[in-house]
Every structure is written in structure tokens, then in C-alpha cells.
Amino acid sequence: MSNSVESDYSNHRRTSSITSNLSAISSKTTIESLESEDFNDKTNKLAHLIANLFWKPSLSFTEFVYDENQVDEEGYEIKKYVDFESLWPTKNKFSSLLKELSHEDNYHEILNEILIFSFFCNIRHVFQILLNDNFIGINHQLLDGFPALHTACIAQNIDAVCRLVTQMNDSEIKSLDNKYAFTAYQVARCQDIRRVLPNARYSLVQTANMIKMSNSSNYFEMARNPDQITDLQLRLQLFKFDVNRQYNEDGNYLIHIATETGTKSIPLLLSLVRIQKCDVDIVNGSGLTPLMLAAQRGHVAVCDVLICVLGANPNIINPENGWSALHYAAKYNRIEVIGTLEKRGGDFNTEDFKGRRPDDVASFYKNYESKWLLEHLRYRRTDLLKKAIDTGKLNKFEIRPTDLVTIDRSGYTLLMLSSIQNRYEILEMLLTFSNAPIDAQHSEDLKTALCLAASAGNTESCAVLLSEGANPTVKDMASLLPLHYAVQSDNLPCVQLLLSNSAGLTGLVKALEMASSPDVERAIKDSMLRRQSDIVAPALFDCAVKGDVQKLYTILEDGDEVNPMSAAGDWPLYLAAENGHLEVVKFLIEKGGSLYLKHSRTNSTVLHAASMGGHIDLLVYLMQFTTNNQNFRPLREKEQLGINDLTFDMKTALQLAADKGFGRIVRLLLRNGATTSVTDWNGKLYICPDYDGVQLMIEQHRRAHIKAIMEVLNDKKGIQRLKNIWLLKFDHNLKDINGNTMLMLACRLGRSDMVQYMLESAVYELDRRPNTPRLHNKKIGFLSSSSSSFNEMIASQDVENSLGTENAENPVLHDSITNFMEDLVKQKEHSLVYPDNRISHVSVQHSQTGKTSYHYALDKGDQYHIIKMLIEKDQHAANIQDSSGLSALHYSCLLNRKRSVEVLLSKKSTDVNLRTLEGQLPEELTKINKIRKMIEDARKASPERMKGSASYVGGIFSMPSTIHSVTTDSLSGSSVDFDRLNTQFVLMKQKMMKSSANTVIDYK
């Protein structure tokens, strides 16, 4: 490919209108100090004449291209440069040319210059022609005052020395005169040359001359005058001047100064490298190499010689700004230098430290001719590379690293072109370069090489790219991934390949929508499950604990489930709240994190987790999602946080914060509707004894809330206000200073609308999960669903077996019943938990009188409409007896509430056979015959009421009015004397009532 590049460039030079006006363009530079000096003095005109006649044409047609990575078959680096001697004409042609010049006025100067080239550039056949054809004699003296023999010795040209010495005797050699009076032996520093010369000692004059020559400060000035090359080289060799370490005050080395001089200095440049081993790529104080200086000055021939003959690297950059020689040529609009540098391997794609290529520099300095030329050269090279890819003949050694980051006329990189053509072997080769832009995107559609390969259905290219780390998550302008294009083309192998890469498990929802094949759909669905389990879920839990929201931003996408549950019952949003990571919580909620979920083991919400951890900032944010926030409109059904939700331990977020003394959080929760009406396991209102400040806040809030409710109850039109402040379920636990619940007060005041509203939350099911603590024990005083009613104890075969017979040997019956009854009597001051898991606040009794809401409704008149509401909500509570044994029916008869009696009798669950502590039936308490008849008729109309049965009621377990002994085969004929049991029960109940009358448990 390199041959075609050179030939194309030659054609370009011949046809381009840019280069046809080369001289005019060169004269446009605005920096006079950098004006090309090659045509400005007589010496360089002579040098150009010699160059153009003898060696430059051959160099121009040389196909040399600098390659710093060129190696042989065994892998060894090859440093094969152009031999300068090979560029000069052969004997006949050289003699002919020289004879034509003999008529010129400056012939002697031309001959002198050719001799300098032959000696210092080691052009052996030229010196041989000059000597044999008698152009010069053996005693020829150069214009600088040195004989030919001395000059050959100083140039360390052993071939020329031998030719001269063989034609001279020792006396002739010693008699040769020069301006320093040195013999040939004395100026020769090469031991091989000294061996063929007669020895000579230094005289006093010679020694004095050497002292004068030792001033090295003159060396840099001498380097500016190419005519003093012999004198300069003599001094450098005599005093062993280090050309790679010593520089002048401007930071320039000798080779830099020689380069600035132009074509005339080429012999000096070659001699510095050949004799003093000067580094041809050494940088001066400004970071410039000799080649950069030559490009800056516009010395085309010098640039060519530096690269082809001396091996200067055209792609070395200035360590200070990142510029290469091409950047400097572009800055000063050196058109021919640009062509030469490109021809010799200069990389026009090299970017400086600011990302600017040579054509960018040319554009910045408005050198549009250079810009157009560089762009043309770039496109021509990319066209050649593209052609090589199309034919599958691209060689690794033809590729420069910058070729990989260059785009063709269509905006494609080499990797993209190889992917489109499915040249996966070339793709593998290109990816061996460390700077291969595997994920580069097209400038217009933003497609990567992987995306292009997938859209073309090139599975092999996709496999190569993925194996080398191509990113399958990069989207194009249409927000499509490589997977989407593979699905679109229904290429199952390619789809499976992309999905087998864990990084490719992205964009699956959209891919599934685009799928038209059942096999493709199945592969995508399987991958969605794998993505969730292998990527999403682990990342969610990890980020939730660590607070890494940035990682979540990069991982989560549409279709991801953000609420996976761990075996411990945790989910990401809960863990983030527990650890106080506010930003993670925000992001998860935006992505669908559930605020409604509760911990399977504790029934905690994210509010509980944040409160228990003391994360005040997080709680401030969560308040907007609570049920008490009127401004919040949930996006999903039920997606609201209950600020008063209970854990399985019956704790609200407020209680958890208060237990740890988080006063600021308690204040925040109270301001946002948290209730202080919760009870502990003993049925008492919650208190926080460990933190006085927190307890004071709770008490103040509770008092204010009770006061507000009572003010509303006293307002006949206060129903709407009640709805605004009433906390469902919880406010039923509140009592005034006299021990009355809010429902009791509403019933007494006859606020039917308020009673109806309160009853909506008065009876509800207890949330009982697998890990809910058992609610039945003597300390708590509640009945759980695992407990039996008294009926069930009596009727149960297991209970009967456990009771046994009533005798001194088996006293189990009395102890069991006694303990059971104590629990039942204790319950009269609390809500009852029914066997069917229902909690009823209708059944709550006054702690001293034992009255229920039924009794309060009857106190102020025949409020049958309220009785009807109560019995519809909890008909069993109608059978609860107060401290005197009066049930609702008894109380109605006592107060002659006829219509209330009708309502109570309308329910078969109302026990007409209950007796007071004095043993009175309901009808015995009234003097109104009509009420008596109603009760007797109800008893007769319902045979089951005639039998009498043990009733499980609210506060006191009432025994049946007519009890028969029960016998079973399992008891072997033994019987339970219920008459005796009833007597014992009545006595015990009276005792418990008197004891409870002296105990006040209400909130005050």
C-alpha cells in the first residue's frame, strides 16, 4: 500500500493548483525570521545547484517511508535508511555534469563544495572520479585553507586518505601546509587513519594554536557558517566536544544550529551524526527536534535527508505542546514540506495536547492551502485502507496507530468498515492495537462497530468485538442497542450471542416489543430473568446498603423490578431507609420502589426503618408520601405510607423513635399526623418513661387531641371537623378524665352522625401474620383466636378430659375456671379481641361502672337510632353487663326505653335470659307491661332463647339462665354441676367488680 500512496501523492503534486503556486504561497508567511533562507544567500544557491544536479532527484524518487515498527522475519528491528552515496551519479554521468559546470564562473566553488560532500558524506566514488580524472590533484587545497589530505583525515574518510597517501611519500605528506601548521597525522583522530600516516610531534606553534582553538563558545557560531565545517570538526575532535550534552544559551545543540542554515549544512549534519554520533531526534530547549526546525524553516531537502538518510522520526512530538513536524509545517504554510513529510511517513492524524491535528492548526492560522492538502491526503489514505479492507488484504504493518481513530469520507473508522464487511480476521488484527476505538460512535447516527455488525447480521464480527470488550450498552441516535438491531433482523444466533454477554442484558423490554419470532422472544424472556437475578437484584441490595446511587443510575432501566425480597424479608427501599441513604430512596421511589410493602417478619414499613435509625432528613422527605399528606397523589394504588401503621409488636414509627429518644423525629411525626392514641400490650396508652422530653411532647399532643375531639363532640354541626381530626382505630383508645371513651360520649350526647362515623372504624380485623406474637396470656388479658370461648371449653372433648371429675383428687376444674374468669373480668377495660380475629371498641366498658356505649346511648333518652347503629356493628356487645349485671336490654327496661327494647329484641343474638347480680331478668326491671310482653313474646318465639346458652360477650362472660348437666361417655358417667359452677361464678364476679372499682386505669 505504501507504494501506491507515494505514486498517488506524486500525481497530486503534478496536478494540484496548490503546489503550482508554491513560491507565491511561501512568500505569504508573516514571520520574517522564519523565511526560508535557502534562496537568500549565494552559498545556499550553490548548495541547491549541487543538490538539484547530483543527488536530490534520486532522493525524490526513493520509495523510503519511515517505519519505527519495522521488523524482520525473526522479529528484530530493522534500521534501513537511504545510503547518501547511492544518490550521486555514476562515473560517466558525474564527469559529464562536472565538465559542463567547468565553464561557470564559480566552478572552483562548485568543485570545493563537491569535495566537502565527498569527504564528510563519505561519497567514495565521487572522490575517486575527481582524483582519477584530474579534476583535482593530490596536493589540492580547499578554499578553507586545508589540504585535501588534512580534510579527509578530519572527515575520517579512510578511503580518501588511503588514495591520497598511496600517491605521496612521507616528506610530501609532512610538507603539506595549512593555517594551523598541523600535519595530517596531528589532525587525524581516527587510529585506523593514523596508522597509514607518518608520525609527527607537536611544535610550540602548534600547541599555541591548539590553545586558541579550545574555546568552545565559538563552536556554535562556526556551526552557523557551513564553510567552516572542516575547522569545526577539527575542534570537535581535538577537544572531544559532546554534541549530545552541550548546548548554547538558547538551548540549541550544534545539530539544531546546523539545521537552521539549510541545504548548505547537509555535510555538517551528516558528519555530526556519523562522526560524533549525534542524536538526530534530540530536542532543544523549546522541545524542537532538528526535523521540526527544518519544517518550520521550509528546508525541504534538509527534511528529506534527515528522515531518509539520518533516520529522523517524522512523528516525534514536542513534549511541551504535542506538535509534530507536520504541525509546524502547517502553521507556516510549508506546502512542499508537508508533501515531503507525508511521503516519508509523517502522520497527518497526530493530535497535539489540545486535540488539534495539523490541518486544524493550518485552519487556525488561515493557511487554507495547507488545510486542503492535509485533508486530501487523509481521505486518500482512508480510501486506500478501505479498499484493502474490502479486498481482505489489509496488512498490519501498513497501519499506523492514528489510522484507527481516523474516519473516512462517510464517517466510518477502520473497525466500523471491517464490521460492516464482516472481515473478522482484519477486525482481530486491528484490535491488537492498544488505541483501537472499539466503542467509537459514528458522527451522525452514533452507531458503534458492534451496532453496525449486529444490524448487518454479522455474527462473527459481533463475536470478535464482544470478546475484545466492546460495550453492548451504547445506544445510537435512535436509542437502539446492538441487541435491538439483531432482534429487528430476526438473527437468533446474534441475539443469543449478545445475550450471553452479561453486559448485553440491557434494553430487554424494548427488544421484547420488537421481537417477531417465538424463539427470539423466549431467549429475551429467559435473559430478563437472568438479568434480574444476576445483575439487578444484587446491585439493588448492595447500593441500598452502601448508598451508591450513581451505580443505580447506570444499572437500572425500564422493566427492572426494584422491589425484590430477600430471604430475611428485606427489600432495597427498606434497606436504603434503614441505612439513611436519602438519594437512593429518592431514586428507588422514582423507579417504582414500593412504599406499601411491609417487612414479612416485623410488619415494618420504610417509615419504621427510618424512624428507628434516627434518619431525620430521610423522614422529612418521606412525609410527603404519608396518608395524612393531602397534597400527595400516589401514582400507584395503595402506594401511601401509613404514618400510624403498626408492626407485629404493635409499634408505630412514633413509638420506635420515642423508645430511642429521637425527639426531633417525634416532633416531626406528630406534626404530620402521628397518633399518640396507641396502647401497649397491657391496653394502656403508650408512655415513654426513659426520655422525659419525649414523654412531655407525647402528653401535650395527646391532651390537645382529646380536647379537640371533645370540642367537636359538643358541636352539633361538628361532623366535618371530626372527620378531619379523627384517627381511625386509634382514637377509640382515648378517654376523658372520667374514663369515658369518645364513642361513649358521642352516644350520650346523641350525635348520631358522629356515632355512625366512629363506628366505621370501631370494629376491625386484627392483622395477624405467621410471625405475630400470641395475644393470649394472663399478663395481656386479651383473647386470641387460639383461645376457646367458655362454650367451647365446656363442649370440647379435650377440655372435658382435662377437667375430669369434680372431686378432691382432681381440682383442675375450679383452678382453670378461676384463672379463665380472672382474664375475662380484666378485659372489661379494654377492647375485646373476638375469636374470629376481630377487635371491637363497641364492647369497651367503663373501668368503674362497667358500662358500654349501649348504656351511654340509653342514659339520655330512648336513642334507639344509636342503639340500632351499635347493634348492627357489634350485636354481641349488647349482652355485656355492667358492674350491676345490667346488659343493654336490662338497662333499656330499667329506663323504660321501649323503642330501644324493640331494636335489641330484633336481633336473636340478644340474650333475654341474662340475669343481673341480684338474679333479675330484663322484664323484671320495668313496670311497663308492654315491654314485659315484648320480652316474653321474644323468648317464646325463639326456642333457642328458651334453652339458654353460655354467651361469649364483651366484658363479662355471662352464664346461661338455664343450665343442664353435661355427661359424656369419655367422662365415664361423671357430670359437671353447672348450678354450683354458676354460684361460684357469681360470687367471684362480685369480688372482681369490687376490686376493680378501686382501680383507676384511665388516662388523665
Secondary structure of 276-287 in HEC code, one letter for each residue: CCCCCCCCCCCC
Q: Is the residue at 970 inside a domain?
A: yes
595 to each of 128, 389, 571, 626, 633, how far by Cα in Å? Answer: 100, 57, 11, 9, 13
- For 720, residues 6+ apart whose C-beta sits below 8 A from its C-beta are none
The answer on 543 and 515 residing in a single domain is no
Residue 405 to residue 435: CA distance in whole angstroms: 8
Q: Is 31 exposed, middle or buried (0-12, 13-18, 19+ CB in 10 A)?
A: exposed
Residue 336 to residue 239: CA distance in whole angstroms: 39
- Please give the distance of CA 424 from its chain centroid, rounded to a whole number: 31
Residue 763 to residue 536: CA distance in whole angstroms: 43
Q: Is the residue at 410 inside a domain?
A: yes
Q: What is the pLDDT at residue 22?
A: 32
The answer on 687 and 553 residing in a single domain is yes
Q: Please answer whether residues 201 and 176 qualify as being in contact, where contact means their C-beta atoms are separated by less than 8 angstroms.
A: no
Q: What is the rounded average pLDDT of the residues 554-579?
A: 92
State the DSSP string of 40-62.
SSHHHHHHHHHIIIIIHHHHHT-
148: pLDDT strictly greater than 70? yes
At 983, is the secondary structure helix, strand, or coil? helix
Q: Is the residue at 740 inside a domain?
A: no
- For 968, residues 6+ apart whose C-beta sits below 8 A from its C-beta are 797, 800
Residue 131 to residue 264: CA distance in whole angstroms: 23
In this structure, of 75-84, 111-120, 305-314, 870-879, the range with the lowest mean pLDDT score is 75-84
Select from 598, 622, 596 the least CA-distant residue to 610: 622
Q: What is the rounded average pLDDT of the residues 715-743?
A: 91
Beta bridge partners of 141: 147
Which domain-ending residue is among 497, 522, 547? 522
Which domain-ending residue is among 474, 495, 522? 522
CA-based radius of gyration for the chain? 55
237: pLDDT strictly greater than 50? yes
Number of structural domains, the chain?
3
Portion of the chain with pLDDT greater than 90, in percent: 59
In this structure, of 133-137, 717-721, 834-838, 850-854, the range with the lowest mean pLDDT score is 834-838
The answer on 760 and 692 residing in a single domain is no
Residue 149 to residue 487: CA distance in whole angstroms: 83
Amino acid 568 reads A
Q: What is the pLDDT at residue 41?
A: 59
- Please give the distance of CA 418 from its chain centroid, rounded to a whole number: 31
Q: What is the rounded average pLDDT of the residues 176-192?
A: 79
The answer on 605 and 479 residing in a single domain is no
Q: What is the rounded average pLDDT of the residues 312-334?
A: 96
Residue 585 to residue 572: CA distance in whole angstroms: 9
- For 236, residues 6+ apart whose C-beta sits below 8 A from its C-beta are 219, 243, 275, 276
Q: What is the rounded average pLDDT of the residues 161-182?
A: 77
The answer on 705 and 784 residing in a single domain is no
Amino acid 658 reads A
DSSP 532: I
How many other CB atoms are found less than 10 A from the CB of residue 577?
31
Q: Please answer whether residues 375 and 404 qualify as being in contact, where contact means their C-beta atoms are separated by less than 8 angstroms.
A: no
Structural element, H or E, at residue 949: none
Mean pLDDT of the chain: 81
Q: What is the rounded average pLDDT of the residues 142-167?
A: 89
Q: What is the pLDDT at residue 364?
A: 95
CA torsion, ordered 648, 651, 656, 659, to nearest 10 deg = -120
Q: What is the pLDDT at residue 537?
A: 94
In this structure, of 814-818, 846-850, 921-925, the range with the lowest mean pLDDT score is 814-818
User: What cell was used for 634?
Assistant: 400516589
457 to each of 463, 490, 519, 637, how far by Cα in Å? Answer: 11, 9, 17, 44
CA torsion, ordered 879, 882, 884, 888, to nearest 10 deg = -40
How many other CB atoms are found less than 10 A from the CB of residue 70?
12
Each residue's pLDDT tens digit, 363-402? 999 999 999 999 999 999 999 999 999 999 998 888 888 8
Select from 613, 535, 534 the least CA-distant residue to 574: 613
Q: Is the residue at 385 inside a domain?
A: yes
Between vectors from CA 655 to CA 651 and to CA 661, what angle results, nearest 5°? 145
Q: Is the residue at 742 inside a domain?
A: no
HEC readout, 548-612: CHHHHHHHCCCCCCCCCCCCCCCCHHHHHHHCCCHHHHHHHHHCCCCCCCCCCCCCCCHHHHHHH
- For 633, residues 6+ apart whose C-beta sits below 8 A from its C-beta are none
Query: Whole domain around residue 389: which residue ranges?
Result: 370-522
The answer on 511 and 567 residing in a single domain is no
Q: What is the pLDDT at residue 229?
A: 93
User: What cell was used for 904?
Assistant: 335489641
Q: What is the pLDDT at residue 54?
A: 94
pLDDT confidence bin for 972, thresholds 50/70/90:
very low
Beta bridge partners of 626: 641
Who wins on pLDDT, 829 or 619? Answer: 619
Residue 274 to residue 271: CA distance in whole angstroms: 5
At 833, is the secondary structure helix, strand, or coil? strand
The CATH number for 407's domain is 1.25.40.20
Q: What is the pLDDT at residue 23?
A: 33
The answer on 582 and 500 residing in a single domain is no
Residue appearing with cell numbers 544557491 = 45
Q: What end-to-end distance do the CA atoms of the chain give, in Å? A: 101
- Please give the distance of CA 524 from its chain centroid, rounded to a whole number: 24
DSSP 22: H
Each residue's pLDDT tens digit, 666-683? 999 999 989 999 887 777
Q: Is the residue at 915 inside a domain?
A: yes
- For 164, residues 6+ apart whose C-beta sits below 8 A from its C-beta are 131, 138, 148, 149, 152
The answer on 805 and 659 residing in a single domain is no
Residue appearing with cell numbers 386505669 = 1001
The answer on 853 and 834 residing in a single domain is yes
Q: What is the pLDDT at residue 326?
A: 97
Please say whether the dihedral angle defined by the alpha carbons of residues 32, 38, 39 and 40, taken in this order, is positive or negative. Answer: positive
- CA diameter of the chain: 174
Amino acid 199 reads N
Q: Is the residue at 489 inside a domain?
A: yes
Q: What is the pLDDT at residue 827?
A: 42
Q: Please answer whether residues 395 and 420 qualify as being in contact, where contact means their C-beta atoms are separated by less than 8 angstroms.
A: no
In this structure, of 33-37, 103-107, 835-839, the range with the lowest mean pLDDT score is 33-37
In this structure, of 437-441, 512-516, 955-959, the range with the lowest mean pLDDT score is 955-959
User: What cell was used for 741?
Assistant: 371513651
The answer on 541 and 504 residing in a single domain is no
Of the spans 19-23, 764-768, 981-985, which averages the highest pLDDT? 764-768
Q: Is the residue at 988 inside a domain?
A: yes
> Phi/psi of residue 192, each to 5°?
-65, -35
Residue 862 to residue 873: CA distance in whole angstroms: 19
Select from 710, 758, 989, 988 the least CA-distant residue to 866: 758
Q: How many helices (H) and strands (E) does the chain have?
A: 54, 3
Each residue's pLDDT tens digit, 61-74? 999 999 876 655 55
State the DSSP string of 361-379.
HHHHTT-HHHHHHHHHHHH
The answer on 689 and 793 residing in a single domain is no
Q: Is 227 exposed, middle or buried (0-12, 13-18, 19+ CB in 10 A)?
A: middle
Who wins on pLDDT, 774 or 193? Answer: 193
Q: What is the pLDDT at residue 744?
A: 95
Q: What is the pLDDT at residue 988?
A: 62
The pTM (predicted TM-score) of the whole model is 0.63
The answer on 688 and 642 residing in a single domain is yes
Q: What is the pLDDT at residue 949?
A: 42
Q: What is the pLDDT at residue 211?
A: 56
